[in-house]
Amino acid sequence: MGIYNYTFISPEIPAIPLIKVQLFTPGLTPTTKLDCEAILDTGSDCTLIPLPLLVQVNAQISGRAINIPVGGSKTIGIPHYVGMIFDNNSHPVLRVFGCPIDDIGEIILIGRDLMNQYRIEFDGVNLTFTIF
């Protein structure tokens, strides 16, 4: 369980639920680790990761590219297997979609595919969120 504060990234945008995660080469014995930031995006069906981050940890392509809606438009999503540490819990093999950095930015978007494995309480009044 972890309690986290919302983060202000810009004066024009409301505070967001941002969390530190770690990506690693998929499998039980990680060989390459990468510290990253991720937004808990309740509007996203699936977890989206910028392709350059997946390349850095040697994530494995797991299927054909598909069109994924992002922010009102569509982008290409390439399915990958990657390892991730989220809220101090290790997910040795997680299926995510790699997207061009121009379409989603440099931050990982954690979708409901991963969030639905947890109970998460968003407290917008106090600008905190708790992952159980």
Contacts (Cβ under 8 Å, ≥6 apart) of 26: 59, 60, 81, 82, 83, 92, 93, 94
* Residue pLDDT, tens place only, 65-124: 999 988 788 899 999 999 999 999 999 999 999 999 887 788 999 999 999 999 999 999
Residue 57's domain comprises 2-7+16-131
Burial annotation 18-40 (CB, 10 A radius, 16+ → b, else e): bbebbbbbbeeebeeeeebebbb
**Predicted pLDDT at 89:** 96
* Residue pLDDT, tens place only, 8-49: 988 998 999 999 999 999 876 767 899 999 999 999 999 999
129 has pLDDT over 70: yes
**Predicted pLDDT at 30:** 60
Q: How far is CA 131 from the centre of its chain?
A: 15
Find, among 124, 125, 130, the residue nearest to 16 by Cα: 124
CATH code of the domain in which 69 resides: 2.40.70.10
72, 77, 81, 83: CA torsion to nearest 10: -40
Could you identify the residue written with the tokens 């991720």? Answer: 38
**Predicted pLDDT at 28:** 63
How many domains is the chain partitioned into structurally? 1
